[in-house]
Chains A and B, each alone.
Chain A
Amino acid sequence: MSHPIPSSSPTTLAAQAALDALAELRAGYAHDLPDRVERMALALRAWRHAPADMVRLEGARVLAHKLHGTAGSYGFPDVGEAAGRIEDAVRTIERTPSEDHAAAWSEVWTSLREAEALALAARERAGSPASGGGRVQP
């Protein structure tokens, strides 16, 4: 005779609470996602206007890298992949002669537009974050 775990057992409740906590965190991240993409866009445009400025290059690269590494784990893999393509293109621009940069810059702007659209869609799907969503202190 089997003994199924009641749906209100402590184990089930704890697992549900954990899933709820993750969902709340994801909703908060989704709500802020367009702003994160916008910060990356601003950094990329600032660097475009001063391509020899290593500080601006580093700023753009760090933001693309963070979005690449994080968005997928929060449940937004398409945004993470678009940021990854931007990161790759930035690396190409950094490491190749300037006459070879046109295709890489084109990739930057194409992937940026894609990331912006995906981020806005993610925010719309998430709706308003629950009270305190995504605000857990590290």
Chain B
Amino acid sequence: MTSIEKALVVDDDDDLLRLCKVSLQTFTEWKVSVADSADAALHAARNEAPDVILLDVMMPGGGGLSLLGQLKGCPKTSGIPVVLLTAADATGIEACRARGAVGVISKPFDPAVLPEQIARIVRDAGER
């Protein structure tokens, strides 16, 4: 899978959700959904079948890595590429990849190139 038509952004911070949504919607023609909790994200992932999920690592209630594990453990969502957003250092980034993320984008990020970064990560993952 290399083309993206639908994206789901998951973060508990409204400011970051807003920034990601505007970035992805205005620089691409992707249909973008947002979720501000793990429950909302799981529901959206199961029902909307996005082509990619952009997930913040630092979520409450177990964090983004716990949600990543739930997504990878569910047959309906396990195949969806997940890109993590994190302010973690290199060690933390490797831990994210080891949990099943196809890639990691470091915070702070440039919203003008965010869609390009996501598309490249998903494309590269599809070629592996």
Contact = CB atoms under 8 A, between A and B. Distances in A.
A66 B16 CA distance: 9
Interface string A76-99: 010010001000000000000000
Interface residues of B, number: 23
Interface string A16-39: 011101100100010000000000
Nearest to B56: A69
A19 B108 contact: no
B21 A136 contact: yes
A80 B13 CA distance: 14
A127 interface: no
Interface stretch (B22-30, B72-80, B90-98, B118-126): B22-30
A88 B19 CA distance: 25
B23 to A, nearest CB: 7
B101 interface: no
A55 B111 CA distance: 33
B119 to A, nearest CB: 15
Contacts of A77: 108
B15 A136 contact: no
The bracket for how many chain A residues form the interface is 20 to 34
Nearest to A84: B87
Contacts, number: 60
B16 A69 contact: yes
Contact of A29 (B15, B23, B108): B15
Contacts of A22: 22-23, 26, 111-112
B19 A74 contact: yes
A131 interface: no
Contacts of B111: 22, 73
Contact of A73 (B19, B21, B26, B27): B19
A66 B107 CA distance: 11
A70 B27 contact: no
Interface in A46-70: 65-66, 68-70
A68 B22 contact: no
A25 B19 contact: yes
A60 B71 CA distance: 30
Interface of A: 15, 17-19, 21-22, 25, 29, 65-66, 68-74, 77, 80, 84, 134, 136-138
10 contacts: A15-B27, A22-B26, A22-B111, A25-B22, A66-B13, A68-B87, A71-B108, A72-B107, A72-B108, A138-B36
